[in-house]
Structure 1
Amino acid sequence: MEALAIHGGAPVRTKPFPQWPVYGEAEERHLLEVLHSGKWGGIGRVKLPEFEERFAAFHGAAHAVTVVNGTVGITIALMAAGVGPGDEVIMPPYTFIATATSSLLFGAIPVFADVEPDTLLLDPDKIEALITAKTKAIVTVHLGGAPSDMTRLRTIADRHGLTLIEDSAQAVGARWEGKAVGALGDLGTFSFQSSKNINAGEGGIILTNDKKLADKAWSLVNVGRIREGAWYQHEHIGWNLRMTEFQAAVLLGQMSRLDEQMDKRERNGKLLTELLGNIVGIHTIRRDPRITKHAYHLYLFKLDSSVADTVDKNEVIRRLNSEGIPVSYGYVSLNRNEALIREIESRTGERRVQDCPISERACQKEVLWLHQNVLLAEEEDMVDIAKAVRKVMASLGTGSMGRP
């Protein structure tokens, strides 16, 4: 057996993976245009409406509203849809904490429905048992860039009169049955935080095909103004949650290479799935055939149950990292997050600890991540990843943690 790098052997690779972000002349040109214009925010913007129009068109949406970040995007989407303090919002627990805190920001209560074991996406079968008179919305998460089952979720939302919101923070450009995410539900939100597939350091956007929802969201983001009103005409209560011209300039540059990057991630993601598929001890994540474009913000794979039950996931990560493969741990299941549990208790007067065993097991024992920049490497780099995974899995044997 080949010695592991962690035990003094030669690592599979020392070559670095591509750095993120990627930027170039397009970002520089747009930024200088904004700088020299003197119009960096407020009225008279140029880059921001151009970006909103281009991003909406890319996703087949009629309306777009930019915001300061993706968290606020979900908050504003919920508020625009009429969700209020004390209302309940069903969402998956296998997601970034902002999916939950976005509702808590104005007093709505997250309720966690478990995920599917083979996709890690919100399980439609787990939703209806959680619907109460207080339920007003479903927030689904297109995890890692894989669209949720929007067909079934739309049916459930319509049957119960619920707003359906897509947390598309990781899914720029992803498509379900040929249609882009973000406008498949009532509203969709995206993040442009620094790790995202297009980024401006921070920032977010809300998409919708409903003009009333778009106008309400725009007003909430623009201090309660209305689109055709005067600067000091505040018809609603709102806040200044606007994106700057500089962020829009960077994002226009980022969009100039998005199609090419998406194609490369898609090719490498499919190749990596093929390469990992025959390694004992590893399971790849099932891709629903109705996903016609995967954004691959994350590439996720799972340890087999026989491995996960005998080997500490952190040890697998340490061994793979030593081989030059930057896998990471991933989320802590939100239904078990004590900060969220305490905050929900302070709002409801009861301690709610919901069981989501599939999400909990995925977080604690099974799921490993590779970030999107890894998939911007070359085919031979995907071969290296598979070689390292095979080497590490072989080293685990029957689960012994001793030196091979």
Structure 2
Amino acid sequence: MGIKRRDFIKKSIMGGIGIWTTSIFQTPYVWGQGGRDVKLPAILGGKKSHYDLWPAWPVWKSPTYDEQILKVLQSGVWSRATVTSEFEKKWAEMVGTKRCLSVVNGTNALITAISQFNIGPGDEVIVSPYTFVATVQAILMNGAIPVFADIDSETFQINPKKIEQKITSKTKAILPVHILGIPADMIRIMQIARKHNLIVIEDACQAHLAQIKDKRVGSIGDAGCFSFQTSKNLPIGEGGAVVSDNDMFVDKCFSFHNLGFPYGASVGAVANGSLNIGTKIRFTEYQAAIGLMQMQNLEKETEMRWENGRYLSERIKIIPGILPCKLYPETTKAAFHLLPLRYVKSEFKNMSRSLFLEAMRAEGVPCSSGYTSLYTQPFIKAAFESKLYQKIYSKKELNYADFLANNQCPANDKICNEEAIWITQNMLLTGKSSMDDIVTAIEKIHDNAEKIIQKFEK
């Protein structure tokens, strides 16, 4: 079973390669003159492919960035005010939408967007099974039913053909996820949505500045949602945003995130009390200040990830058994929050994926197996058993065995359980020589697969 994504990211970006190379698989030198065999995998006693520390993440440029944070702290104005408004204006401009509303995190951005499109009890939302748990939690928090459409295993993205098969009279929205920072097939998804009069909410939480033709993800559907959690390409610690061109919708989101007080198209005055059901998930001024600083480097860093990701994919694809992900033809830029590869163990003498990953870590190349299957996790059953769902839905609608039978996603399961390998975004913020080191590591393991298996799997 793979390690949890956040644990992996924490280890890989904070501890560098040292964390991974301390393992039971380290062995003494094999040459008597103090050298190591460069062609022998490190797991068998050879020389590591990569010795340098990978870039730390997140990056804070002190003292350059310090002044803006101190200015906010010293002002005593810490709740949302002018700095937050400035952040929202600039993020909307960067994404290419009219409006942006910042909230405390990406999960609440999704919850807010779903709720303010009036999606709730009795509605179904079609979603990818290959995503972080927050995407589906946001659907359940609004009392709707998630319906999983399987992925295209070559792209790791939701398969539009599977989406259309899942549409029923209860379907209210499609929630495509640009998972790993790679654009989903929005051209086909939008065609399906318009044909069936469905709302499209883009989960772009991992896809800052990813682009399809001349439009950035988050600006293509009816709304887009972003996360600024520490591991993300625009890191703030915690934070999120809803973007849209729909003024009425964003006004409703603003009211919702501020205790239901009137805002914009909602006629009234705050002093007269709340008009709508709402919550309190406002951004802070110091979060906004951090975001404004981080935004200065985002385009440059995105371009570097894009170039290195394509370079690495081109080099890797000649190695049997390691398949780089494919991009849809209309994709003009992927953000590569994570660079996914597919592992075909038959090309590695049937070496288990877990042993391959351990061998890569020994080479100084931290990587993980990514997500476990989401649609079978207990939280969905727990939601169905909650008082809210029991009161809203019939026993037939909440039959969990039927739910599982109707939501089988075999392509997703194969990716999760057998094939996926993740390389984190910070590893792409280096030179081409580091990309070459990753290739060298894979080649060494491939060429010595039988010896590795003999030592560790028999």
TM range (shorter): over 0.9
**Residue-by-residue CA offset, 1:210-260 (whole Å, 9 max, x unaligned):** 111111111111111122553333111101111111100000000011111
Partner of 1:81: 117
Q: Distance in 2 between matches of 1:368 and 1:327?
A: 7
Q: Give the SS at the match of 2:443.
A: helix
1:251 correspondence with 2:288: no
Change (3 A) 1:135 1:305: farther
The correspondence for 1:48, drawn from 76, 81, 84, is: 84
1:105 correspondence with 2:141: yes
Partner of 2:269: 230
Query: What is the CA-CA distance between 1:397 and the residue it aligns to?
Result: 4.1
**Residue-by-residue CA offset, 1:117-152 (whole Å, 9 max, x unaligned):** 210101000012211222111100111111111111
Report which stretch shifted further, 143-152 or 305-314: 305-314
Q: Give the SS at the match of 2:422.
A: strand
**Residue-by-residue CA offset, 1:274-309 (whole Å, 9 max, x unaligned):** 110111111111122311111111111111263489
Partner of 1:327: 367
**Residue-by-residue CA offset, 1:56-77 (whole Å, 9 max, x unaligned):** 0111100111111101111111
**Residue-by-residue CA offset, 1:66-90 (whole Å, 9 max, x unaligned):** 1111011111111111101231111
- Residue identity opposite 1:114 in structure 2: D
CA contact (8 A) 2:130 2:412 kept: yes
Q: Counterparts in 2 of 1:253-272, with a 5 A limit?
A: 253-272=293-312
1:132 correspondence with 2:155: no
Q: Distance in 1 between matches of 2:189 and 2:451?
A: 41
Change (3 A) 1:308 1:138: farther
Query: What is the CA-CA distance between 1:358 and the residue it aligns to?
Result: 0.5
Q: Distance in 2 between matches of 1:107 and 1:130?
A: 19
Query: What is the CA-CA distance between 1:340 and the residue it aligns to?
Result: 2.4
Alignment gaps of 5+ in structure 1? none
Q: Give the SS at the match of 2:249.
A: helix
CA contact (8 A) 1:26 1:253 kept: no
Percent sequence identity over aligned pairs: 38
Partner of 2:177: 141
Change (3 A) 1:226 1:93: same
Partner of 2:213: 177
CA contact (8 A) 2:153 2:411 kept: yes
- Residue identity opposite 1:60 in structure 2: G
**Residue-by-residue CA offset, 1:366-402 (whole Å, 9 max, x unaligned):** 0100110000011100000110011112222499453
Q: Distance in 1 between matches of 2:334 and 2:353?
A: 26
1:114 correspondence with 2:150: yes
Change (3 A) 1:50 1:401: farther
CA contact (8 A) 1:335 1:341 kept: no
CA contact (8 A) 1:65 1:205 kept: yes
Change (3 A) 1:371 1:253: same
Partner of 2:100: 64
Query: What is the CA-CA distance between 1:332 and the residue it aligns to?
Result: 0.9
CA contact (8 A) 2:225 2:243 kept: yes
- Residue identity opposite 2:178 in structure 1: H
Q: Distance in 2 between matches of 1:114 and 1:198?
A: 29
Q: Distance in 1 between matches of 2:282 and 2:432?
A: 40
CA contact (8 A) 2:119 2:142 kept: no
Q: Give the SS at the match of 1:85.
A: coil
CA contact (8 A) 2:180 2:206 kept: yes
Partner of 2:398: 349
CA contact (8 A) 1:222 1:239 kept: yes
**Residue-by-residue CA offset, 1:300-321 (whole Å, 9 max, x unaligned):** 1111263489332111111101
Partner of 2:76: 38
Change (3 A) 1:250 1:26: farther
Q: Distance in 1 between matches of 2:411 and 2:289?
A: 41
1:393 correspondence with 2:446: yes
Change (3 A) 1:97 1:23: same
Report which stretch shifted further, 281-290 or 243-252: 281-290
Q: Distance in 2 between matches of 1:152 and 1:305?
A: 32
1:13 correspondence with 2:46: no
- Residue identity opposite 1:371 in structure 2: T
Report which stretch shifted further, 49-58 or 256-265: 256-265
CA contact (8 A) 1:95 1:333 kept: no
Q: Distance in 1 between matches of 2:419 and 2:102?
A: 36
Report which stretch shifted further, 344-353 or 164-173: 344-353
Which protein shows a greater Rg? 2
Alignment gaps of 5+ in structure 2? 1-36, 390-396
Change (3 A) 1:309 1:136: farther
Query: What is the CA-CA distance between 1:338 and the residue it aligns to?
Result: 2.9
Partner of 2:21: none
Aligned pairs, how many? 402
Q: Counterparts in 2 of 1:193-212, with a 5 A limit?
A: 193-212=229-248
Partner of 1:192: 228
Change (3 A) 1:265 1:307: same
Change (3 A) 1:309 1:96: farther
Q: Distance in 2 between matches of 1:19 and 1:294?
A: 21
CA contact (8 A) 2:349 2:449 kept: no
Report which stretch shifted further, 348-357 or 224-233: 224-233
Query: What is the CA-CA distance between 1:200 and the residue it aligns to?
Result: 0.9
CA contact (8 A) 1:277 1:284 kept: yes
1:167 correspondence with 2:203: yes
The correspondence for 2:424, drawn from 367, 371, 394, is: 371
Query: What is the CA-CA distance between 1:343 and the residue it aligns to?
Result: 2.7
Change (3 A) 1:308 1:85: farther
- Residue identity opposite 2:124 in structure 1: E
CA contact (8 A) 2:322 2:341 kept: yes
